[in-house]
Structure 1
Amino acid sequence: MRQFPLEMHHLTPGRVVEWRLRSTAARARGRDGAADRRASFNQDKHFTVAEESRGSGDPVASWLAVTFEVAGRLDEQALAQALLAFVRRHEVLRCEFRRLAGELSCAPFTPAELALDAVPVGSFDTSEGLRGFLTERFTRSIDTLSWPLFTMGAVLREDSATVYLAFDHIVCDGMSMPIVVREVLTEYEALRRGLDAGLPAAAPSYLDFADEQRRRYLSIDAGDERLDYWKSFIARNGEFFPRFPLDLGVEPDRMYPIVNEASELLDAAEAEVFEKSCLAVDGKPFMGVLAAVAFCLREAGGPGVYRGFMPVSERGRGPWNHAVGWFVNTMPIEFDASPGRDFGQVMAGVRAGFSEMISHIDVPFVRAWQLLAPEEFAAQSWPYPVNFFSYIDMRKVPGAERHGDWRPATHVWSARANGACSWFQRDAAGLHMNSLYVDTPAARRTMGDFQEALRRTVQDIARGGGFRRPIALTPPRQPVRGGVEV
């Protein structure tokens, strides 16, 4: 399972059917609000940006989608039952968000009052036409300010089907996608056999997680000692956000259309050897990829000390491993990647930096941003291109043992951006990279060079266990701000 643009998906044409969610009772906004729950920090910020950008006439739009395959002729009734059971199981998917007295609340529908309606969409004769329809459908139907916050459907053929679900980020994250695949297909296959899938009627609720998080951190102020890690990072970085150090050709306070591209960095055999090279210097594969990223950025003229943001799953606390929701905290990480340091030395820095970061993981990113950079928090986006690194080993997610049969894939889309974000995934086929970045001539050159340099660097690590000098990259147009060591 890996992440790549929907436009790259080789979808076989067929007949499209969707299942649309509706309530059989009164709308949540007509209730007394007694059952309402408070949104998480992530959700509140996301919803606020959607509200403000809608009013500005330049709405911020994005979605996360997952696709997977069903072998044989699709049993439409069984799939509808599986999809409805999945929605009923996860409380966050049953929520309507609304602003009440300044607070964002979640008003959940009860499981019993939800129903699905099958809606025939039409048939498509070409893969291009089908992909175009799905892209337009996801973009048009996923609206942070409107319920429901996801869409579900399938492409039916005589001997197979492709199932799709697309979500607003407010109800899920990247690690939720494997859970979607596993639960829907486990339920579907059990229904087809007349068996009990063994899945609980209700999964642990993200709303409980959000409530706990708010109770712990809503009352803290900028002087709280739990923010000391962030303050120390800001003091060395010179500002709250770590800048992406290469030239993307962007102007201040401007958003751009994006380029969404993906490629393979290592095949399966190379990825295995790369992992052994990382283990040989007491590191993990994600640390090796991060070390390689820092090396390539530095070789291009970036700083000798790597500073960036890294999303970290919060599912490790409590019973959340099989829950759908936005269980992501974004944290700063830094380590020494200065000239002269070999792979083992940089890896030791990554390991120490990661350990230090994890020891301060509890404070929510949005809360730290609000308290320590209030002027930037008021904006609708991060203020400039930010250095960002994400890694997931898809071989370890729920249901991974069936991915060869189900062939799941994740797809991310955003309308506009002002920087670059890269996600790395390891699966049974190898190591992959998906990048979204601004569509400027400078960014296309920079990201193309960076991707090629990174591919060569991770291959060098796999082959020789260390760094070799990569191809030259486009240097930054100006020195990195904030007193960063170079």
Structure 2
Amino acid sequence: MRMVGLDDLSVGHGRLMTWQLTDASKEVAAEAGPAGPPSHNQELRLRQAEAGHASGRWPRRWHLSASVADTVDPAALQLALTEFVRRHDTLRSLFRRESDGAVRRYVLPASAVELKRSRGEWCGTEEKVLAALSRLADTVTDPWGWPGTAFAALTGGRESTLFLVSDHLHVDLYSHLLAADEINRLHRAHRESRAADLAEPGSFDAHAREDRKDDARPLDGTVEHWTRFARAMGGRLPAFPLDLGVPSTDAMPLFRRNIPLFDEETASAVELWCARHGGTVPAALMAASALSVRELGGGSTFGALVPMSTRPVPVQPSVGWYVSAVPVWFEAPAGTAFADVMRQARQSFRTSRCRQDAAVERVLAALPSHIAQDRTFWFSYADTRSTPGAEPPQVSNPRLTFNPSLGAGGDVWINRNPDGTHMHVRCPNTPQAVKTMHAYASGLRAHLLDAVGRGQGQPPQ
């Protein structure tokens, strides 16, 4: 899975067909009555959307694009997409704020799912394809709107490209990969007039209800742990640990870049070295990050919010936003062996995960008001090799794209894919910030490869 900015997405040209739930189905969903509450992360997203509406800084959207070698059969694909939406209840969810102020979910019954298909628009250039996708996204990625998801297919070349357009409200990274795999399998099955061999999916609505069961339970221990974290970070949740040259109050257009770190052969060697030295790949990446930051003048205390999956094993084949986060912090003083720093990073993550007994959104809301939470630094790692469709590859070139956005901080996502490990970085689009982020990424890569005996590789460009 590559993560790229929308402006950097390369898709070619051709005929673009689109599918989305009908407007009439919104009333059917509302008539079904409230199903349950949103999950904690969904409710936060909905509040952010309300604020975004007021400021004019919405929508924020995600696109998934994935290439398939087969020629798309529009009728079979419509059946496939209809079945896919019926399988996953979050894609049939509508949110409303009730008269009592509570936000409730309404779910369109699976039997009532009906998709409308466009006649198809010929887009003679890539720019026209991206413009059409952006127009589609503007109509479906408002978290308070309907529908919350749309699909598209670009045909006309040697291979076809499928698109899923949705807000983060309904999908996480795993969900995008699951969608690419399921839609491709369903399309093939309907084209061949057979049933697709897919596992029974879980319900994100049920997960959200479970997410709310302990809302009345006190958070004293968890809040105390996070407060110690903030104290170690200077009295706030950590921002990106290097000076990006942008005042914290400024919201600027963001620079995004996908940087290759190393191929899969090297990634396997890194994994083996980590296991032999009492660590893990994500812990080693955080250790290398800490050393790179220290080398560039950012200090010896590393801190970040690290996402973690909340996806229960029985609900693996389920589209939804199954993500929480924990605080990770540790020391990386000069002269400390890399393996020791890595083990500290691993222990910090394990300790925080054990003490995290509530959704991160509940914890953040419960922190003392003097703890600043702006520009928080996120450091994410995901191994996509065991995700649906990875082996053997059913789809090729899956990419997750974002629309242009504004901000003042920096964040890092590292994905290990079957063909190698890549880092996606985000920072303000200024010369100093971009230069700093490239230096940070080069240092991270160099420190990790030197530690495992694979140094002297070319730094990322």
TM-score (normalizing by structure 2): 0.92
Q: Distance in 2 between matches of 1:374 and 1:31?
A: 40
* Aligned mate of 1:461, from 427, 451, 460: 451
Letter in 1 for 2:362: R
| 8 A Cα contact 1:98 1:105, kept in partner | yes
Contact 1:5 1:413 in 2 (8 A): yes
Match of 1:66 among 52, 64, 67: 64
Matches within 5 A, 1:286-301: 286-301=282-297
> 1 CA distance for matches of 2:305 and 2:366?
17
- 2:331 matched to 1:343? no
CA distance in 2, matches of 1:310, 1:231: 16
2:198 counterpart of 1:208: no
The Cα of 1:46 is off from its aligned counterpart by 0.9
Structure 1 unmatched runs, 5+ = 472-486
In the other structure, the counterpart of 2:260 is 264
Shift of 1:292: 0.9
Contact 1:23 1:115 in 2 (8 A): no
- Report the equivalent of 2:91: 93
Query: How far 1:175 moved relative to its partner?
Result: 1.6
Distance 1:310 1:198, change over 3 A: same
Q: 1:32: Cα distance to partner?
A: 7.3
Q: Does 1:227 align with 2:217?
A: no
C-alpha contact (below 8 Å) 1:99/1:105 kept by paired residues: yes
Greater CA drift, 403-412 or 263-272 = 403-412
CA deviation string 1:39-76 (max 9, x = no partner)? 11111111111112212x33243222211122232111
Task: Identify the residue that residue 428 of structure 1 maps to in structure 2.
Answer: 418
Equivalence for 1:483: none
Match of 1:442 among 432, 439, 460: 432
The equivalent residue for 1:113 is 112
Within a 5 Å distance, the mapping from 1:337-416 to structure 2 comes to 337-374=332-369, 382-383=373-374, 385-403=375-393, 405-416=395-406
* Distance in 2 separating the partners of 1:77 and 1:63: 27
Report Cα offsets for 1:283-327 as digits up to 9, x if no partner: 222222111111101111123121110010001x35221111111
Task: After TM superposition, give the deviation of residue 77 of structure 1 in Å.
Answer: 0.9
The separation in 2 between residues aligned to 1:139 and 1:373, in whole angstroms, is 37
Q: Report if the CA contact (8 A) 1:144-1:168 is conserved.
A: yes
The aligned amino acid for 1:357 is S
Q: 1:31/1:134 Cα in 2 relative to 1: closer, same or farther (>3 Å)?
A: closer
- Mapping 1:260-339, distance limit 5 Å: 260-315=256-311, 317=312, 319-339=314-334
Q: Please give the per-residue CA displacement for 1:205-257, whole angstroms capped at 9, x wherever unaligned.
A: 111111111121x21345x3343322332333343411222111222333221
Letter in 2 for 1:192: R
Distance 1:105 1:368 in 2: 21
Whole-Å separation in 2 of the counterparts to 1:180 and 1:327? 15
Number of residue pairs the alignment of both structures matches: 457
Change (3 A) 1:462 1:166: farther
Question: Does the alignment pair 1:154 with 2:153?
Answer: yes
| CA deviations over 1:385-444 (Å, ceiling 9, x no partner) | 322210111102122113364332222335212211111011121110111222233212
Partner of 1:478: none
Q: How much does 1:356 deviate? A: 0.7
Return the offset for 1:135. 4.0
Distance 1:205 1:61 in 2: 26
Counterpart position of 1:169 = 168
SS at 2:56 equivalent: coil
User: Following the alignment from structure 2 to structure 1, what is the Cα–Cα distance between the partners of residues 139 and 27?
Assistant: 22
AA at the equivalent of 1:67: S
Residue of structure 1 equivalent to 2:185 = 186
CA pair 263-318 structure 1, distance change in 2 beyond 3 A = closer
On the 8 A contact 1:221/1:371 being kept in 2, the answer is no
Deviation at 1:25, TM superposition (A): 5.1
Cα shift at 1:93: 0.8
State the distance in 2 between where 1:187 and 1:30 align. Answer: 28
Q: Is the 8 A contact 2:39 2:208 kept in 1?
A: yes
Aligned residue number for residue 474 of structure 1: none
Identity level (%)? 27
What is the CA–CA distance in structure 1 between the aligned matches of 2:269 and 2:30, rounded to whole Å? 59
What is the Cα deviation at residue 282 of structure 1?
A: 2.1
Tell me how far apart the structure 2 counterparts of residues 92 and 70 of structure 1 sit (CA, whole Å): 25
Q: Distance in 1 between matches of 2:23 and 2:56?
A: 31
Quote the offset at 1:20 in angstroms: 1.9
The superposition leaves residues 440-462 of structure 1 with CA deviations (integer Å, 9 ceiling, x where unpaired) of: 33212211221222233333234
1:247 is paired with a residue whose SS is coil
User: With structure 1 as the length reference, what TM-score do the two structures score?
Assistant: 0.87
CA 374–414 in structure 1, closer or farther in 2 if over 3 Å, else same: farther
Return the alpha-carbon distance in structure 1 between the equivalents of residues 102 and 236 of structure 2: 26
State the distance in 2 between where 1:356 and 1:455 align.
26
For 2:80 and 2:424, the matched residues in 1 are separated by 30
Is the 2:15–2:121 contact (alpha carbons within 8 Å) kept by the matching residues of 1?
A: yes
